[in-house]
Structure 1
């Protein structure tokens, strides 16, 4: 599906999404116009979903990261989708993954402090429609945090 140059473009852009097309082209051994065409094709194919800045949560005042394991009362597809739509509108929820097993969803949540997290938990999460129970774990330290996927 992707050739070696495409893979190299993806690898380099994942490492530094701010590089110019000219820099990228030089690094992958192309001239700028065909490199830009390849990048656009990778975007259109969905291999590149977007570009973003990696922000420092603590520096911005978000000192707490919590993982919440959520079990729903009903696992009907419409109820699962309704929960996903609900959490999509909650800014503190940074990630939402549906799981196979006892827990239906795991959420990554950021908060400024323990009090604001507790307010969010009771005001927005445990009281959400169809939520049966929520188990939470506060992050003590993060030793690895890499965006994307291993591109080799």
Structure 2
């Protein structure tokens, strides 16, 4: 990956809807070489997809919580079953396995407190292998959906 590839990635992180012509202009390439580089970045996995960033608040999802999960045990089957189950709950918008205690961090969105309470009681507490759940509310997102830092790749 060279500087031109990093410029392509930086531009697409800022605006994934750029046409290939606009992208080529911004990175100072002609359209064909820019298109070849873009396809190579996609094939390599450096670009894993394109999507729109939605505003949760504007869509009525104003309740944002972090849920810490401690597992009963950490057998391969329990972990696999838990992770598969987590991936089926739409309100869980981020799930991370952690070193140490707790075992997982889930970011959950809901319409309001009653909706979160129902989700917590009916779905989160029923996830396989869960020993304990602990949650905290997000007061404010200070940094969110920040583009990846591409300079350290040099």
Q: TM-score range by the shorter chain?
A: over 0.9
The unaligned stretches of length 5 or more in structure 1 are: none
Cα drift, residue 147 of structure 1: 3.6
In the alignment, which residue of structure 2 is the partner of 1:106? 105
Mapped to 1, the partners of 2:80 and 2:17 lie a distance apart of 34
Q: Which runs of 4+ in 1 moved over 3 A?
A: none
Cα drift, residue 77 of structure 1: 2.1
RMSD: 1.0
For residue 58 of structure 2, give the secondary structure of its aligned residue in structure 1: coil
Q: TM-score, normalised by structure 2?
A: 0.94
Q: Do 2:14 and 2:147's aligned partners in 1 also have CA atoms closer than 8 Å? A: no
2:42 corresponds to 1:43: yes
Mapped to 2, the partners of 1:89 and 1:147 lie a distance apart of 25
Query: What number of residue pairs does the alignment pair up?
Result: 151
1:37-68 deviation digits (Å, cap 9, x = unpaired):
11111111110011111111011000101000
The unaligned stretches of length 5 or more in structure 2 are: none
Q: TM-score, normalised by structure 1?
A: 0.96
- The more displaced of 45-54 and 72-81 is 72-81
1:58-105 deviation digits (Å, cap 9, x = unpaired):
110001010000011111122112111101000000001000011111
